[in-house]
Structure formats: structure tokens, C-alpha cells
Amino acid sequence: MILVTGANGQLGRRIVQHLIAREPALRGRRLAVSVREPARAGDLANRDVTVRHGDFDQPDTLPKAFAGALRLVLVPTDGPAALRIQRHGNAIRAAVAAGVGHVLYVGGLEADMAPATPFSRVHRDTEALLADSALPHTVLRCPPCADALTDWFAPALSDGSLPVPPGEGALSLVSRDELAQAIAAAALAPRLDQRIHRLTGQAALSLADIAARIARVCGRPLRYEAGSANGPVDALDARASLFAAIAAGQFSPLSRDFAALVGHPPKSLDCLIHEYFAPRSLA
């Protein structure tokens, strides 16, 4: 049985959908999800997915939720870094108690970053907890979701500039749906000999380059203004962690692991930018 945690979230739900699409015979007793609110997973239950209650803040619920799982897809939680690490530790200990066969952790490309940011520390410490547990495991290190471009650039498209903290660097991006596709492919792989998979995009581009490409597609002026962010940047802020990782080069190395798992490379960033930003016809 494959079990996916956090299946009421945007990434977890997509992972389940891609598992079903790739292997429809999973439905029934071979595919389950662990969620904090089972009532919100009624659509999955209607598709013959086993829905179990599992709350990372209530460790006693987890061994029963994970029981019988040959492979467990551990989707990271939200919240402050220390709380997330604690939750992930609860899940890993429960996986040991439940006799889970193999854990697939959805981590981040910034796991090796030094000095660590709050976000990179979550992934680094979770990987360390998995290593200490002696559980067979695979880490799927992901870049930022390309879907976030619409949030990052929405203010810039209204006033014409993108102020960010100082720093240079490039990053590759993959859409949330394609990341879910690769994670589902890994969960279904006959063998999981590779310990770490890096699910990068086809190319790594600077924010200035990305801004220029979005401006061309939107037909609006857009300036990238490095170092012009107003006020101090909170070290605990998610965006501050992101820019620190970009500046440190954590998202610039490229890998072919996505294609090895899925059978083809992810969409190009230009393709994604057209999907997200091209003006829609009203006809």
C-alpha cells in the first residue's frame, strides 16, 4: 500500500491524483491518505481511496494511520521551522512504529545550505532524522513551485518594479503539478536505489531574466530592482529564506532526475510563464 500524508493540501492532493492516473488499480486497499480532517477528503473516499485520520500534532494518531504502508510519501507541513521539524519527527517515529517499508520525503534543494535559513533547516534536519531512524528512505528535493510566480510578480505588474533584497543567483522552477507527477512516479518505481533525487527545471534563470520574460508575455513594463526592498528583512520570513537560498546558488544546479522518473523533462519556464501570464482572450 502507498500512503500519502497531507493529502488535503495542494501538493498532496495532486500526488494522489497522479498516483491514480498512473496506476488506476491502486484504488481500493492499495492507496491511502493520512489527513488531519478526514471530512475534507470525501472526494478521495468517493474515488475509492482509503482515508485515515493522522495529525502530526497528535503523535498517537499516526502509527494507526500509517499501518500497512509499504511506501509512505511524507509531504512537509507548514508553520514555523521548529514546529515543522517536530511534526516531521513525530511522523518518522510513527513510521518506524508502524513498520513502514520505505519513506519518500518531499524535501527542498536548499537542504545543504550553509548557513542555514529556517526553511533549509527544516529539510536538513528532517533528512537527518530519517537517516538516524534507519528507515529505508528516498528524498525528493524540490525547487520552489513555479506557481508562486503569480504571487511574487503580482505587485510588480501593478507598479512596474520588483523590489527584492540584494543578492545575485539563478533558480530553476517546476510547477506544483509536475512536481506531484514526479513524486508519484517515484512512489510507484519498482526500485528506489537512488537516495536523493533533485527535481529541477530545464534551466536556471536569474530573477532579472524571469522578470524580463514575464514582461514580454504580459506586454507590460517590469523592472527588476535588486537591493531596493524597503525596510529590514525578517530572517524568519519565508521570502527572505527564498532569496537567501537563491543568492547562495541552491537552486541553480540542474539535474535530469525529473526526466528519469517521469519519462520526459518538465515544462520549460517560458511555457509556464505563458500559462500563468499570457493575456486571456475574452472571445
The residue among 67, 27, 66 whose CA lies nearest residue 49 is 27
* Model pLDDT, residue 258: 98
Identify the domain containing residue 24 by its residue range.
Answer: 2-146+173-202+252-266
Residue 4 pairs in a beta bridge with 33, 73
Could you report the per-residue pLDDT of 129-186, keeping only the tens digit for each?
Answer: 999 999 999 999 999 999 999 888 877 777 776 666 555 789 999 999 999 999 999 9
In the chain, the number of structural domains is 1
218 within a domain of the structure (yes/no): no
Mean pLDDT value across the chain: 90
Least confident stretch, 165-169, 257-261, 269-273, 275-279:
165-169
Letter for the amino acid at 119? F
Cα–Cα separations (whole angstroms), residue 219 to 160, 273, 274: 11, 13, 12
Residue 136 lies in a domain: yes
Indicate whether 46 belongs to any domain: yes
| Cα separation, 125 vs 118, whole angstroms | 11
pLDDT, greater one: 85 or 280: 85
Instruction: Give per-residue pLDDT as tens, 188-244.
Output: 999 998 999 999 999 999 888 888 899 899 888 777 666 544 433 344 467 778 888
Tell me the whole-structure pTM to 2 decimals: 0.92
pLDDT (0 to 100) of residue 212: 87
Is 235 domain-assigned?
A: no
Asked if the structure places residue 242 within a domain, the reply is no
CATH assignment at residue 62: 3.40.50.720
Task: Identify whether 108 is part of a domain.
Answer: yes
Residue 30, in any domain of the structure: yes
Burial class of residue 244 (count of CB atoms within 10 Å of its CB; 0-12, 13-18, 19+): buried
13 pLDDT more than 90: yes
Judge residue 55's burial from the number of C-beta atoms within 10 Å of its C-beta, 0-12 exposed, 13-18 middle, 19 or more buried.
middle
- Higher per-residue pLDDT: 29 or 67: 67
- Residue 243 covered by a domain: no
Average pLDDT in the 85-106 region?
98
